[in-house]
Structures are given as C-alpha cells and as structure tokens.
Structure 1
Amino acid sequence: MPAKRHAASTASAAPASPTPNTPTPLSKSLSSGPATLKSNASAVEIAQLVWEQYLSSTPQRTLLLDAFMAFLVLVGGLQFLYCALAGNYPFNAFLSGFSAAVGQFVLTASLRMQTSEPTGQSKPSSKGKNARFAEEPEEQGAVTASHERAFADYIFGSLILHFFCVNFIN
C-alpha cells in the first residue's frame, strides 16, 4: 500500500503500474515446477489449485470419461428427485432407469481405472503381517488388458446392462 500512496503523491503524469509486493497464496513459477500452496490458503484457493492441476495433468480421454460420469450422476439424481417429488407410479420404470444410470456409472468407472495412465507413483506398501506378500515379484509380471480390450468389455457390459433394464420395464 505505501507504493500506491507514494505514487499518488507524486505529480508525474505516468500512471503507476501495479506491482504485487505481497506474496499470493498460490506461488506459481513456470520454471520451478508445479504450483504450491501456502499454509494459510483458503478452501477456494485449494479447490482452484486442485482443479487447475486436474485439467493440466489429466489426459483428454480420462476427462471425457469423467464428464460422462458426472452426467450419469446428474441423470440418476434427477430420476431420484423426480421419484421423490412426483411419485413413483411406474416403479419398474424408475428402478430400470435408475439402475441403468448407476450400472453405467460403475462400468465407466471400471473403464476409467483400466485405461488411466499410471501417474508414476509407487504403490503404498502395506504394513502388517502380509507386508512381505506385497513386495513379491509376481505382481510385477501381472498382465494388464489393452485399451481396446477394456473398451470392448465396456461395450459388452453396457449391452447386457441395458438389455436387462429394457426387459425389466415390461
């Protein structure tokens, strides 16, 4: 603040350029790596940093799956809200629609888990009586399904889910 008072008291015609002298809670630097938070950051600043990190580090395919999962949560919530407010006369239709939304959410979450790229972080080691089993080399040779296989399983599971939901309506 003293710089602004000083700039206002001078008779120069040039406008004072705002120079932030106080550090912001989000200290970002392109060369120093990811943004960090100060210890006294507010909840809004934390949420903003998490959202920015999510958008910058998540692949486009995973973002699309997350958007579809958010849509499924919205559809399921609207169906439940409609059933609670307007009644549930065709109860089979409500159960079928709601279970289709929940089932598709579960299938999409499974597809997201199978197709997400690992972040490079190591698994947390278990501490306890089974700790030695977590470090055995047989987990290193585990075969993972390809993205095409995971998507084919997703389509097959979705077809079966919707077949049962349509048949449940009557």
Structure 2
Amino acid sequence: MTRAERLSLASDFATSATTWNAAALRGFCTQRGIAEDREKALWPRGVRSLARDLNEAADERMLRRWQNETPTLYDVLVWRFADNESLRPAVAALARSDLWHPADTLARTGITARRMLRLAGKSGEIRVWLLVLAYSAAVLVWLLDGSAGRRATTSACRAAAMALG
C-alpha cells in the first residue's frame, strides 16, 4: 500500500469515526478487508498513528493550496478550518482521545504549526509552541462554534495571528 493510499484511508476513517479507539480502528479495517497484522503494520501505534496520518493528509492539502503563494498566518488558519469542515465530528472525537495522549498530541500539532509558520514566512521555536497553544485553542473554538459563518472561529484565528506577529 502506498503512502497516499494509507493517508486516504486515514481520511476515510475520520469521515466515519465516532470514536478514536482500537475497537473503532479494528472495525474500520475489518470492513475494508485489512487483516489485523496489516493494520498493525500500517498503524503501529493504532489510532495515534492514524491521527498522525490524518494530520499529514491535511498538512499536504494545506501545503499544496499555498505552494505558489505566501499567505498570512491568518489566511492559513482560516483556510485550514474551512478545509476540514467535513471532518468536524471526527476532529471532536479525536480531540477527546487526545486528552489521554498529550505528548503525542503536542508533537503532532507541533509538526503542523511549523508548516503553517513556514508557509507564512515565519519561524522560531517559541513561535512554534505559541502557535501550538493558539491553534489548539482555535480548534476548540471551531468545534463549539455554532455562529453564522463561524464568526467565533474567524475571531480566534485573527487573535492567534495577531499574537504571533
């Protein structure tokens, strides 16, 4: 199986997942004829590996979107939430799972933050970790945002971008 196929499976899981746990992953794989040993080879850390693949797929879409432009950090953040709108229920389930795996979550989000900053022409370790915090807070706002046009999310993105310069 190619990397692209594995990342596509991660997106497929996300669109159907209501929980992020071993049983949900096993059920998903069983439905697709993926044997347990193959599942372990594809995602050695189970749903934590799958979460990394989901982030990787979203990061790749983000990098492709901005490959010929230098966007502002605000533009990157707003676009990322719009791009993942169809995955909101899965992201909510993943966020609950992330509470039990903070180190993995921070590492995964750190990779995305570095990529976001690089797209916006910014760098620096302090800025990366500030964006990890600001982006994580914005994700929570996005998950709870029921306003028309996701105004609260847009405001959270604006505040994050302003705070990071």
TM-score (norm 2): 0.28
Q: Which has the higher contact order (CA 8 A, sep 6+)?
A: 2
Give 1 or 2 for the bigger CA radius of gyration: 1
| Structure that is richer in helix per residue | 2
TM-score (norm 1): 0.28
